[in-house]
Amino acid sequence: MTERLRLALPPALSAAAVGRVLDALARGGAEVRFVGGCVRDAILGRPVRDVDLATDALPQGVMALLRAAGIGVVPTGVAHGTVTAVVDGTPVEVTTLRRDVETDGRRAVVDFTDDWREDAARRDFTMNALSLSPDGTVHDFFGGIADARAGRVLFVGDPEARIREDVLRILRFFRFQAHYGRGAPDAAALAACRRLAPLLPRLSGERVRAELLRLLEAPDPAPVWRLMADEGVLARLLPEAADLGRLDALAGLERAGGAAPDPLRRLAALLPGSAAAALDVAARLRLSNRERDRLVLLAEPPLAVDPSSPDRGNRRALHRLGAAHFADLVLLEAAARRLGRAAIEPALAAAAAWRPVSFPLAGRDLQARGVPPGTGMGRLLKELEAWWEDRDYRPDRAACLAELERRLGHG
């Protein structure tokens, strides 16, 4: 039985660009609805980020209707029914209703349908199987409205069958439990995840990365991360990411300071203090070079920081690492020591107030005074910079040159 309710469209769904796409399709006789996460979040009063539309029109028909209305079209995934409308630079995805013909645990072969219930039945969770007509009518075939409001993360149909269609749904279950779940997780879903966890290594690193980092964006990810460890899921993917106490403490420090969750910093909190371990995890998750380098720095920093003191050693770390990395390390070290937010506020304030400073001398200054290029010049330059750092970066260029002259025996 289909449940319906009326909903006032949030701003993201009533935007002018979206309205033009809806009008273009409706004028051609197509039925079009909002689907997936944007409907779920609208019902829960959460911010709507991604706007996805579904229609009973076939992809070629969708493209013809959009072009007839003067809307740009990009055939982003026509084989799977998806085209992207572009209105004044704003992309809006439109996907034809589908049913699965064949699945192998990683990808599906689909066919098109005009049956909204059939399309909803191929989605993972009941709260994601909702659709919303432009007039505000929410269509619910599987009890997703009640489940979303109660914080129940339930698969559509048999959990094991749904996971065998796409093994990534194991990780999606835990991610949704972290972001939307309240109370104990569904026992049948949890049992299916546990039984099928050995299939996880067949997933690509990119897909695993996306799910795990989004899970770590949850306000309080530690309980679900612990659940993944208990159910044997982490052992298949990230057995070394086990410092749950540090993750819990870090999340508390972030919340206490009103900081946005930082999934990569949280991942670093879970890892042992080893650059080798961080490099291994980065390779397994196919992190970008920038993400890899940051994770390595956070796992095994080149300089120690004292999270409870804005002392000279911290200012040296600020100078060499930059304010952002320094603040990361303050939070991570404080989490390791189980310090409260008040204890680290001076160090974080020092980071917020920090303005980068540059050492006033360069190799050409030494060369001009007779120092030949080579290792000796590099060593002397580093010694001078250390002298400047020891004086809290106060000596100006003239003072640094005077110190150089003194060291060269010219003073």
At residue 105, the pLDDT reads: 53
Domain boundary among 104, 131, 150: 150
Average pLDDT over residues 201-215: 96
In the prediction, which pLDDT does 1 show? Answer: 42
Residue 16 placed within a domain: yes
Mean pLDDT of the chain: 93
State mean pLDDT over 138-161: 96
First to last CA, the chain: 93
Question: What's the rounded Cα separation, in Å, for the pair 62 and 68?
Answer: 10
Q: CA-to-CA distance for 361 and 118, rounded, in angstroms? A: 70
Q: Is residue 134 part of a domain?
A: yes
128 located within any domain: yes
Let me know if residue 71 belongs to a domain.
yes
Give the model confidence (pLDDT) of 344-363 as tens digits: 999 999 899 988 889 999 99
pLDDT tens for 7-16 read 889 999 999 9
Q: Distance between CA atoms of 266 and 257, rounded to whole angstroms?
A: 15
Domain assignment present for residue 156? The answer is no
86's enclosing H/E stretch is strand 82-87
Examine the pLDDT at 231 and tell me if it is beyond 50. yes
Kindly report the pTM of this predicted structure: 0.89
Q: Which of 150, 180, 195 is the last residue in one of the domains?
A: 150
401 is a domain residue: yes
Domain assignment of residue 355, yes or no? no
Q: What is the pLDDT of residues 50-90, one digit of tens each?
A: 899 999 999 999 999 999 999 999 998 888 889 999 998 88
The total number of structural domains in the chain stands at 2
CB atoms within 10 A of CB 218: 23
pLDDT of residue 160: 96
Does any domain span residue 88? yes
Q: How far is Cα 277 from Cα 282, in angstroms, rounded to an integer?
A: 9
Last residue of a domain, one of 87, 115, 150: 150
DSSP state of 166: B
Q: What domain range is 142 assigned to? A: 1-150
User: Would you state the pLDDT for residue 100?
Assistant: 75
Question: In CATH, what number is assigned to the domain containing residue 81?
Answer: 3.30.460.10
Can you give the pLDDT at residue 76?
87
Check whether 390 has a pLDDT greater than 90. no
Helix, strand, coil shares, percent, the chain, to 5: 55, 15, 35
Query: For 272-295, how does the pLDDT look when each residue is reduced to its tens digit (9 = 90+)?
Result: 999 999 999 999 999 999 999 999
